[in-house]
Homo-oligomer: A and B are copies of this chain.
Amino acid sequence: MADQRAPHDLPDVSGLTIGILGGTGDQGKGLARRLAMAGHTVLIGSRDAARAAAAAESLGGDLPVSGADNAAVATRADVVIVAVPWDGHRATLESLRAELAGKIVVDCVNPLGFDKQGAYALPVEEGSAAQQAAAVLPDSRVVAAFHHVSAVLLLDPDVAEMDLDVLVLGDDREATDTVQALASRIPGMRGVYGGRLRNAHQIEALTANLISVNRRYKAHAGLRITDV
């Protein structure tokens, strides 16, 4: 892609505090690192505040990242990214319904199973993890994004720029614009609108295909959307 501009006018999100539930995993830590490098105050959340603090510490003392338990993070952050394992997804969100009310909640969870042939999409009663979040959190503004971002690249100090677009899905235009702007804060990354929440399943499931791509090509594959 020669042209890395944001695809349309997006709001200024530079002052937002970002919380990451399940931020002790590689995906959560990687997003925390890149968003903090972009200047955001980032709060890593975990069930265990001490583990969250250790994860924040592991990213180096120079970055504005700290750790706390999930409920404190959900309360203090402006935008909350959900990066918990799929099998704890519903229970974690149910336990934080009050704290997350009124907030933009960004679900990046991929419900996948693995067997000898690789990864495959798990069926989800609500259609997708993002739709499950929307069902569990009726008072939050649920957006789906950041599904295809390689944790390895996010955490690699030798990678200055990410080479991918983030598809951002949701039914609330102001919320999707905010998350697109947030994704676009990370060098090389663009947030591109990718449709309504009812079309989130295939975005989550596509991660299984990217895992196949990675195996075949020994790569950390990402997506670019052309002509946008």
Of the candidates B7, B119, B196, B213, which one forms a contact with A228 in the assembled complex, judged by CB atoms under 8 Å apart? B213
**How many residues of A are in contact with the other chain, CB < 8 A?**
41
Q: A222-B225, A227-B219 are in contact. Are A193 and B205 (CB under 8 A)?
A: no
**Contact residues in B for A213 (Cβ distance below 8 Å):** 192-195, 225, 228
Q: A219-B227, A222-B227 are in contact. Are A209 and B121 (CB under 8 A)?
A: no
Of the candidates B118, B195, B196, B220, which one forms a contact with A227 in the assembled complex, judged by CB atoms under 8 Å apart? B220
Closest chain B residue, CB of each to CB of A171: B117
Q: When the two chains form their complex, are residues A117 and B196 in contact, meaning their CB atoms are under 8 A apart? A: yes
Q: A195-B209, A212-B193 are in contact. Are A228 and B224 (CB under 8 A)?
A: no
Q: When the two chains form their complex, are residues A202 and B192 in contact, meaning their CB atoms are under 8 A apart? A: no
**Contact residues in B for A167 (Cβ distance below 8 Å):** 209
Minimum CB–CB distance for A125 against chain B, Å = 14
**Contact residues in B for A193 (Cβ distance below 8 Å):** 212-213, 216-217
Q: Is the C-beta of A198 less than 8 angstroms from some C-beta in chain B?
A: yes
A25 CA / B201 CA spacing, docked (Å): 28
**Contact residues in B for A211 (Cβ distance below 8 Å):** 195
Of the candidates B8, B117, B223, which one forms a contact with A223 in the assembled complex, judged by CB atoms under 8 Å apart? B223
Minimum CB–CB distance for A177 against chain B, Å = 11
Minimum CB–CB distance for A119 against chain B, Å = 8
**Contact residues in B for A212 (Cβ distance below 8 Å):** 193-196, 199
**Contact residues in B for A221 (Cβ distance below 8 Å):** 225-228
Minimum CB–CB distance for A20 against chain B, Å = 24
* Interface bits A171-211 vs B (CB < 8 Å: 1, else 0): 00000000000000000000011111011011101101101
A224 CA / B196 CA spacing, docked (Å): 22
Q: When the two chains form their complex, are residues A202 and B117 in contact, meaning their CB atoms are under 8 A apart? A: no
A167 CA / B225 CA spacing, docked (Å): 14
Q: Is the C-beta of A164 less than 8 angstroms from some C-beta in chain B?
A: yes
Closest chain B residue, CB of each to CB of A212: B195
Minimum CB–CB distance for A204 against chain B, Å = 8
Q: When the two chains form their complex, are residues B206 and A203 in contact, meaning their CB atoms are under 8 A apart? A: yes
**Contact residues in B for A224 (Cβ distance below 8 Å):** 1, 223-226
Q: When the two chains form their complex, are residues A228 and B219 in contact, meaning their CB atoms are under 8 A apart? A: yes
Give 8 A-B pairs besides A195-B211, A221-B226, A224-B225 with Cβ atoms closer than 8 angstroms.
Answer: A1-B1, A8-B217, A118-B195, A192-B213, A195-B208, A201-B202, A213-B225, A223-B225
